């Protein structure tokens, strides 16, 4: 089956169905700027149908032995692995990311997500508390019911499977909404769920816009658990709707992540790591290090070599095997990037590399959305360019003189998702890691992900943690059973 010209329908109760209103949206390929498929433009009626299916499925699914749920999820793993190339190509076309990145990162990670939680549920433990001679308590962790799972466009299957896998592994049923900009791999996943024999209604996918489908999911009284990944502004809306309904909510939001390079660092490693953390997926990863701080004695050398390396990144057609920088998600995102590059110059910044859209890489991509890797220097630390999330291939580089000063700079934003620290001094690494207000601190690396560790943000980067035990706990309700002795 080819993914081109498909009409992407909702997946409800194990079958693909038309949206209630019969409406579809064009799905644009970022590299060409042209529609290549259509996606259901659903509304609250479709969410109601999905809730009815999920509610019906919950009774059986939540009571299935963990080993059986595990077996079904592992079948999905095998099927994704079998179709890895098809998934990678679909993800690349849908997002504009290089095919090589989708093949090496996005789809393998989706496989790992399913495998991790499919097997994690076979190894869980529960706590017991003995109250002297009075009673014996144990903690029963039960699935909560129907989970609403909402994800963004930058890492579509990677992030959606990071929610679907733990939610259904522990016995919930789920209603997922991918971004309407990137629905294709969620659609392909539904086909595999059918093939794997996942019972009808366990996973339902409703496509459409945030204001229509996302808002209907967050407001639905029968969906008591919401796992959301997206921008901070949207996250606030989700929190506002969920709070009076007392839903359990996890919010993974935006970032403006510092990347700190001390003069004692292995500069070759720091430069290679920083170029990657600045421009991976065209800078459209919530964990990208968009603010680089370099100790003054190494600053000039770092900037020269960083620019040298970044300028060699091969921008091209995402489907070209040699491409390292693909397309930007859509026109709105491209305009946003251009706005911030203009703003940076008004704020006193100097563009040392890039700063504009390049010539199209080929005829096919003539109307695609491309932007060159961009480096900005000489900006004041506290300006808007250094505080607001751009979410594109734009990085600022700023010198610093002391550890205290750079920690202050790093923390001087509303966000607190992740940070990187490059140094050979172990004591300094520990000291700085303790003082930085981010949910993840990488030392001498970036984007090393162990699925067991807690993942999430501080401040306006979110509430709650995903990953490992945190996710298993989020998607279950702890109940204390107290038995008198
Ligand atoms: P958005 O916040 O615009 O959208 C995220 C999801 O929410 C989409 O599916 C969107 O639907 C949906 N949505 C929009 N409005 C509502 C609403 N009122 N109620 C419920 N759902 C709604 O984010 P982007 O898709 O633009 O993604 C980029 C953002 O995601 C960046 O800020 C990035 O930092 C953040 N992000 C955070 C990560 C983390 O782990 N902390 C990881 C990856 C990204 P639709 O798009 O269909 O309108």
Tens digit of each residue's pLDDT (9 = 90 or more) over 257-268? 999 999 999 999
The pick from 234, 290, 414, 464 for probing ligand 1's pocket by mutation, whose C-beta has the most ligand atoms within 8 angstroms, reads 234
| Active-site position among 286, 295, 466, 470 | 286
Read off the pLDDT of each residue in 157-183 and give the average, rounded to a whole number. Answer: 98
Report CA-CA distances (Å) from 5 to 12, 27, 38, 39, 331.
Answer: 21, 9, 7, 10, 21
Residue 3 has pLDDT above 90, yes or no: no
pLDDT value of position 131: 98
Q: Which residues of 261-281 are buried (b: 16+ CB within 10 A; e: fewer)?
A: bbbebebeebbebbbbbbbbb
Res 1: pLDDT: 47
- Average confidence (pLDDT) over 59-80: 98
Mean pLDDT of the chain: 97
**What is the model's pLDDT at position 473?**
98
Is residue 5's pLDDT more than 80? no
Q: Does any ligand 1 atom lie closer than 6 A to the CB of residue 41? A: no
The mean pLDDT value for 211-235 works out to: 98
Q: Whose CA is nearest to atom 42 of ligand 1?
A: 286
From the CB of 286, is ligand 1 less than 6 Å away?
Answer: yes
Distance (Å) from CA 302 to ligand 1 centroid: 34
Q: Is the CB of 253 under 6 A from ligand 1?
A: yes
Q: Are 244 and 221 in contact (CB under 8 A)?
A: no
Identify which of 422, 424, 420 has the alpha carbon closest to the alpha carbon of residue 440. 420
Inter-residue contact 336 to 330 (CB < 8 Å): no
The pair of three-digit structure tokens given for residue 196, joined into one six-digit string: 């794997």
User: Which residues, in sequence order, are CB contacts of 8 under 8 Å at separation 6+?
Assistant: 27, 37, 38, 39, 40, 183, 184, 187, 207
**Cα distances (Å, whole numbers) of residue 111 to 105, 156, 267:** 10, 13, 34
At 3, phi and psi to the nearest 5?
-90, -10
Beta bridge partners of 377: 350, 397
**Residue to mutate, 42, 210, 288, ligand 1, most ligand atoms under 8 Å from C-beta:** 210
**Does the reported pTM lie above 0.95?**
yes
What phi, psi does 131 have (nearest 5°)?
A: -95, 85
Task: Kindly state the percentage of the chain with pLDDT values over 70.
Answer: 99
**Ligand 1 atom, smallest distance to 241 CA:** 19
Give residue 231 CA to ligand 1 midpoint distance, Å: 5
Q: Considering only CA atoms, which of 29, 154, 151, 164 is closest in space to residue 101?
A: 154
- Is 286 annotated as catalytic? yes
Closest C-alpha among 440, 355, 420 to residue 390:
355
Q: 150: Cβ below 6 Å to ligand 1?
A: yes
pLDDT tens digit string along 327-372? 999 999 999 999 999 999 999 999 999 999 999 999 999 999 999 9
Average pLDDT rounded to a whole number, residues 429-433: 98
pLDDT of residue 347: 98
Q: Which two tokens stand for residue 447?
A: 């984007």
- pLDDT-derived band at 383, boundaries 50, 70, 90: very high
Q: How confident is the model at residue 430 (pLDDT cuts 50, 70, 90)?
A: very high
152 lines ligand 1 (CB under 6 A): yes
354 CB near ligand 1 (under 6 Å): no
Residue 457 and residue 454: Cα distance in Å, rounded? 10
Tokens 């990187």 belong to 420
Distance 50 CA to ligand 1 centre (A): 21
Query: Residue 433 above 70 pLDDT?
Result: yes
- Report pLDDT for 316: 98
Q: Specify the pLDDT at position 261.
A: 99
Give residue 2's pLDDT. 55
pLDDT at 4: 53
- Rounded distance from Cα 457 to ligand 1 centre (Å): 15
Q: How far is the CA of 128 from the centre of ligand 1 (A)?
A: 39
Question: Residue 157 region, left (φ>0) first, then alpha (ψ -120 to 50), else beta?
Answer: alpha
Beta strands in 247-309 (DSSP E): 248-252, 258-261, 291-295
pLDDT for the residue 30: 98
- Single out the catalytic residue among 29, 91, 180, 252: 252
- Per DSSP bridges, beta strands 24-29 and 418-422 are unpaired
Give all strands of the β-sheet with 203-205 in edge-to-edge order: 15-17, 10-12, 203-205, 173-177, 146-150, 223-229, 248-252, 462-463
* Pocket lining: 326 vs ligand 1, CB cutoff 6 Å: no
Shortest-distance Cα residue to atom 40 of ligand 1: 252
What are the pLDDT digits (tens) for 280-329?
999 999 999 999 999 999 999 999 999 999 999 999 999 999 999 999 99
Residues whose CB falls within 8 Å of the CB of residue 356, separated by 6 or more in sequence, listed in order: 341, 371, 372
């Amino acid at each position: 089956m080819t993914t081109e010209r498909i009409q992407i329908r909702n997946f409800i109760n194990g079958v693909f169905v038309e949206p209630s209103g019969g409406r579809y949206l064009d799905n644009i390929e970022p590299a060409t700027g042209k529609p290549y498929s259509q996606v259901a433009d659903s509304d609250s009626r479709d969410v109601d149908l999905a809730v009815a299916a999920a509610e019906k499925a919950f009774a059986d699914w939540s009571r299935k032995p963990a080993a059986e749920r595990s077996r079904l999820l592992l079948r999905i793993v095998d099927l994704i692995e079998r179709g890895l190339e098809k998934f990678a190509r679909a993800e690349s076309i849908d997002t504009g990311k290089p095919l090589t990145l989708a093949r090496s990162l996005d789809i393998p990670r989706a496989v790992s997500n399913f495998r991790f939680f499919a097997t994690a549920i076979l190894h869980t433990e529960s706590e017991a508390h003995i109250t002297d001679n009075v009673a014996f308590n144990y903690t029963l962790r039960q699935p909560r019911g129907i989970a609403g799972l909402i994800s963004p466009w930058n890492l579509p299957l990677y992030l959606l499977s990071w929610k679907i896998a733990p939610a259904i592994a522990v016995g919930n049923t789920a209603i997922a909404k991918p971004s309407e900009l990137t629905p294709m791999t969620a659609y392909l996943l539904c086909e595999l769920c059918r093939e794997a024999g996942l019972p009808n209604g366990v996973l339902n996918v409703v496509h459409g816009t945030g204001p229509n489908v996302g808002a209907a999911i967050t407001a639905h009284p029968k969906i008591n658990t919401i796992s959301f990944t997206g921008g901070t502004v949207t996250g606030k809306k989700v929190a506002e709707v969920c709070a009076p309904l007392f839903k359990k909510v996890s919010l993974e939001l935006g970032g403006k992540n510092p990347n700190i390079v001390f003069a004692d660092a292995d500069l070759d490693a720091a430069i290679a790591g920083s170029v990657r953390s600045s421009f991976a997926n065209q800078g459209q990863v919530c964990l990208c290090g968009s603010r680089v701080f370099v100790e003054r004695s190494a600053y000039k050398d770092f900037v020269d070599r960083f620019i040298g390396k970044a300028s060699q990144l091969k921008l091209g057609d995402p489907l070209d095997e040699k491409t390292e920088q693909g397309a930007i998600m859509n026109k709105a995102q491209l305009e946003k990037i251009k706005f911030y590059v203009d703003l940076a110059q008004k704020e006193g910044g100097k563009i040392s590399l890039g700063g504009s859209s390049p010539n199209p890489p080929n005829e096919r991509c003539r109307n695609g959305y491309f932007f060159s890797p961009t480096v900005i220097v000489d900006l004041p630390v506290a300006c808007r360019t250094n505080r607001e999330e751009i979410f594109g291939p734009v990085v600022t580089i700023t010198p610093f003189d002391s550890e205290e000063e750079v920690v202050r700079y790093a923390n001087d934003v509303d966000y607190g998702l992740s940070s990187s620290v490059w140094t050979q001094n172990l004591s300094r690494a520990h000291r700085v890691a303790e003082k930085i207000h981010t949910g993840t601190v990488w030392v001498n690396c970036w984007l090393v992900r162990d699925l067991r560790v807690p993942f999430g943000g501080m401040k306006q980067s979110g509430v709650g943690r995903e990953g490992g035990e945190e996710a298993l706990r989020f998607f279950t309700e702890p109940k204390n059973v107290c038995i008198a002795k």
